Amino acid sequence: MTRSLQMGPGIFPEIDYGDEDALLHAEHLIDSLFSSGLKEIAGIYRLASRIKNSYDRLEPFFTRFTGPVCARCVTGCCVNRHGFPDYEDMVIFRALRVRRQGFDPTLPDQEPCQYLEKRGCRLERYQRSYRCTWYFCDRVLNRFEKEQLEEYRKFRACCQELASERQHLLTCFGRMIGWRF
């Protein structure tokens, strides 16, 4: 059994890996909803700024505790499939006013992620697919918990806060459009 950190339930349409047309279609739809002038949009931007603050609070934990272990990992878990954003990621990117990074969908899904560089991922945390933030293998989590229990607890609490803020924003977005996609 793995212990990776929680992620909210998927409530938005699936986009298959590499389906650039579906991605662009969803992106266009999301863009037009954000530009529609609906009064709820202001609230969604406010929620997004809380999400950004949560990412900022998490960053020191990644830098101090998980990053050094991942940097020495020989197997790695960054593959193209994980770097490809989903529908929910794109709603969050738009709410954060973050431009989606170009992605070459012709590259095999299980090959090393195209955003991966020698020193790690070249994207800011909030520019990545959310799965890249919550996923850590047991080795990282076990070690973090064993060596730095108090910090680990704080880290988990921050991750849970981010997950719940994210879920709240997505729910507000879904309600705003009447769950019609």
Stretch that binds ligand SF4, among 39-47, 48-56, 116-124, 157-165 (CB under 6 A): 116-124
Nearer to ligand SF4, 94 or 128 (CB): 128
How remote is the C-alpha of 70 from its chain's centroid?
Answer: 18
- Which amino acid appears at position 84 of this protein? F
| 76 binds ligand SF4 per the rule CB under 6 A | yes
Burial class (CB in 10 A: 0-12, 13-18, 19+), 151: middle
Stretch that binds ligand SF4, among 6-14, 102-110, 120-128, 151-159 (CB under 6 A): 120-128
Nearer to ligand SF4, 33 or 123 (CB): 123
CA angle at residue 71 from 107 to 131, to 5 degrees? Answer: 55
Interface residue with ligand SF4 among 89, 90, 128, 165 (CB under 6 A) is 128
| 95 binds ligand SF4 per the rule CB under 6 A | no
Shortest CB 4 distance to ligand SF4, Å: 9
Report in angstroms the alpha-carbon separations of 37 from 42, 54, 137, 172: 9, 27, 42, 15
Q: Cα separation of 147 and 138, whole Å?
A: 14
Stretch that binds ligand SF4, among 35-43, 51-59, 86-94, 108-116 (CB under 6 A): 108-116
Shortest CB 81 distance to ligand SF4, Å: 8
Burial class (CB in 10 A: 0-12, 13-18, 19+), 106: exposed
Q: Cα separation of 132 and 45, whole Å?
A: 22
Q: What residues line the site for ligand SF4 (CB under 6 A)?
A: 69-70, 73, 75-78, 82-83, 113, 115-116, 121, 123, 128-129, 132, 136-137, 139-140
